[in-house]
Structure 1
Amino acid sequence: MSNNTFFFENGSKAVILLHAYSSGPNDVRMLGRALEKENYTVLAPVFAGHGTKDPENVLEVSVEDWIQNAKEALLFLKEKGYQDIAVFGLSLGGVIAIKTLIDEEVVAGGTFSSPLIPSDINNVRTEFLRFMKQEKLKIGVSESDYEQYLPVLEQKLDQQMAEIQGLVKTMMPHYSEIRKPIFIGQGSDDELIDSATAYDWADALTNTTVDFHWYEGAPHVITVGKSHKALAQDVIRFLSKLQWNGG
């Protein structure tokens, strides 16, 4: 597993935490530590293309790679003897968490600031390009070379954004089939995605228990923002009420 992965081995119940797009497990480390203190084993893998010095590496992989990364995390835990596993994710990580819950055997799932319902309100592209420029200049690319190369980057990014949207669209018909409990956390001041779609996502889950939490004033990355402690307590409460396989 990648060096950026963290694995806090503690209790017999395990939780997978999946990070956001163009980010890494540090996004979910505080939550991981909070869960570890409550006797949960926590695994946070690194998505393919992430965790390198060059953000363009993110654009060289596919959504299928990330789905596979989550499956591998699940398999890793099962091979370690964990039977009771819940899977959560931040933003893109939440999309992959729910895809995993639809396809694989897990106890429950959760999303934090995740675009599970398509919306025209989305600043991910703009923010990624801003981040890309900053990081490329850091590694020695000149501004003029960057500007010249920008159309290529934009094409790759648009293709990947379309792929993520495509995955969400294929998942939507399955939302009503989900029977496992779902946790939803969303901040009111999300600067990247349309926060109102969290309500639509909850409404789409017609055949399961939904634990919905709205964090007033919280940004997109609620796992490290001002509501991170409240979020951790809410996740712990959600996990404590689950019917784990082991009883």
Structure 2
Amino acid sequence: MKFRKTISLILLLIVIGSVSRVINIYSVKYLDARFSREDGVIRGTQEFYIEKGKDAVLLLHGLTANPHSVKEIGIFLVERGYTVYAPVIKGHGTSVFDLEKTNYLDWYNSAETAYLKLASNHDKVYIIGTSLGGLIALDLASKYDADGLIVVNAPIEIKSEFTNMLPLVYLVSPYSIRGLFTLQELPIAVDLKLYDTLPLKSAAQLVSYLNHVKPKINNVDEPILVVQSLKDDIVNPESADYIMNNVNSSKKELLLLKDSTHINIVTSDKELLEREGYAFIKNA
């Protein structure tokens, strides 16, 4: 009798898991179809390259984001005489299903190609990266001699007790549906044209990538400004301390944004970031 009950329970769990998985996948397809696209690209998410001066800034967006999310800081820097290039990290700006097919080497290679393009015809190249872009910035700086970098909310430590359970969760729910942001942040996510979902395969790639980058941080010796939102609900703010304590930069500065979250840089903090970021690059 016990054996039969056990088998019945297992079968029930399999059915529930299968139904949950199907619902999850079809929900994601519905959400993904809501974006307005042109030739497969979500409108407004294309890369932007603005030639202005002999010194250039490479802008790297975060996971599930796109160049539109860093355009404001890009325009700010162009107005101050810098050439700015914000490439699309592979898998972004089109469909969450494209993102799911990529790995962290694809993400890095997208940024490396953009960096080398700028480095080939500009006197100086600075790198600014947000979230995943911050990790990539550290990775690039560990290999190349950039002239300075600013990393914003780089995920060295992630606030999640589920990272070790991703393979198990994937069996039931292969996508996280906007569980990334609070209801207050949802309008911001929409305005920034972020994907509505995060493939758990991509989340696992992010974890693998941060573990790949961490040992290389002590190879970073460029001037660095580490920026961390104290109300970040995704990245542990101690990530900033780890970076500060492990880079070998003679010039390193820490900027804490006391009122901002991972994606919501409030107006007062945004003005502070622009002001301090510009001053840092100018004097790097």
Same fold at TM > 0.5: yes
1:20 pairs with one of 62, 66, 69: 62
The structure-2 alpha-carbon separation of the partners of 1:109 and 1:51, relative to structure 1 and needing over 3 Å to count, comes to: same
Q: Which residue of 2 aligns with 1:75?
A: 116
TM-score by length of 2: 0.68
Instruction: Output the CA distance in 2 between the equivalents of 1:233 and 1:170.
Output: 32
Kept after mapping to 2: 8 A contact 1:113/1:222 = no
Instruction: Output the CA distance in 1 between the equivalents of 2:108 and 2:273.
Output: 25
Q: Which residue of 2 aligns with 1:90?
A: 130
Listed as ranges, the gaps of 5+ residues in structure 2 are 1-40, 167-172, 180-196
Alignment of 1:179-190 (within 5 A): 179-190=221-232
Q: Which residue of 1 aligns with 2:12?
A: none
Kept after mapping to 2: 8 A contact 1:222/1:228 = no
The structure-2 alpha-carbon separation of the partners of 1:82 and 1:223, relative to structure 1 and needing over 3 Å to count, comes to: farther
Instruction: Output the CA distance in 2 between the equivalents of 1:101 and 1:201.
Output: 13
Alignment of 1:116-131 (within 5 A): 117-121=156-160, 129-131=176-178
Number of aligned residue pairs: give it. 215
Instruction: Output the CA distance in 1 between the equivalents of 2:146 and 2:233.
Output: 31
Query: Does residue 281 of structure 2 align to residue 239 of structure 1?
Result: yes
Kept after mapping to 1: 8 A contact 2:99/2:202 = no
Q: Which residue of 1 aligns with 2:154?
A: 114
The structure-2 alpha-carbon separation of the partners of 1:236 and 1:121, relative to structure 1 and needing over 3 Å to count, comes to: same
Alignment of 1:197-236 (within 5 A): 197-221=239-263, 226-236=268-278
Secondary structure in structure 2 of the residue aligned to 1:110: strand
Q: Deviations over 1:72-110 (max 9, x none)?
A: 11122234x213101111100111111111122311112
Kept after mapping to 2: 8 A contact 1:21/1:92 = yes
Shift of 1:223: 5.2
Instruction: Output the CA distance in 1 between the equivalents of 2:126 and 2:62.
Output: 17
Kept after mapping to 2: 8 A contact 1:123/1:191 = no
The structure-2 alpha-carbon separation of the partners of 1:122 and 1:112, relative to structure 1 and needing over 3 Å to count, comes to: farther
2:141 pairs with one of 81, 101, 108: 101
Letter in 1 for 2:142: I
Instruction: Output the CA distance in 2 between the equivalents of 1:123 and 1:18.
Output: 26
Shift of 1:111: 0.7
Instruction: Output the CA distance in 2 between the equivalents of 1:122 and 1:94.
Output: 22
Q: Percent identity?
A: 22
The structure-2 alpha-carbon separation of the partners of 1:122 and 1:234, relative to structure 1 and needing over 3 Å to count, comes to: farther
Q: Which residue of 2 aligns with 1:11?
A: 53
Secondary structure in structure 2 of the residue aligned to 1:227: helix
Kept after mapping to 2: 8 A contact 1:6/1:25 = yes
RMSD between aligned residues: 2.6
